[in-house]
Amino acid sequence: MIDILFSFLKAFLVGGAICTLAQLLINKTKLTSGKILVYFLLAGLILQAFGLYEKLVDFAGAGATVPISGFGYLLAEGAIIGAKSGIFGAITGGLASASAGVTSAITFGYVFALIFKTHSKT
């Protein structure tokens, strides 16, 4: 029981730290949300290219894989594994590893767009 609670605590702290950093960038800089999203994705990708993000994932689990930097990690990990079978594998490996998440996002986005009507906030 203690191990499960400790795992939840680690995931909460790491995921919360990543999200807090993003919120600070939104509040304190003139960076747009889109740019911050791309920077975090690239940070996860670059950290995994050097083998660092995987250590964070091993420590924090979902706290490191759920934020957008985890998507960069997933793309890099797939490309690294795919590269073992050649250049084509390096290109398609990242897409193959992220295909379930991307497909789910597109499918659920489409379904909810059909169900709900958009309106302005004003």
Per-residue pLDDT of the chain (122 residues; tens, 9 = 90+): 889 999 999 999 999 999 999 999 999 999 988 899 999 999 999 999 898 999 999 999 989 988 888 888 988 888 888 889 888 888 888 888 888 888 888 999 999 999 998 777 66
Instruction: Output the pLDDT for position 12.
Output: 94
In a domain? residue 120: no
Q: What is the pLDDT of residue 98?
A: 84
Place of tokens 């995921």: 15
Specify the pLDDT at position 15. Answer: 93
CA distance 103 to 97: 11
- The residue type of 122 is T
Nearest to 54 by CA among 86, 78, 30, 33: 78
- The pLDDT assigned to 101 comes to 82
Residue 121 lies in a domain: no
Query: How long a stretch of residues is the chain?
Result: 122
What's the total number of domains in the chain?
Answer: 1
In a domain, 60, yes or no: yes
Burial letters for 25-45: b for 16+ Cβ neighbours within 10 Å, e otherwise?
A: beeeeeeeeeebeebbbebbb
Q: What is the pLDDT of residue 1?
A: 84
Would residue 89 count as lying in a domain? yes
**Domain extent at residue 83:** 2-115
Q: What's the pLDDT at 121?
A: 65
Asked if residue 72 is part of any domain, the answer here is yes
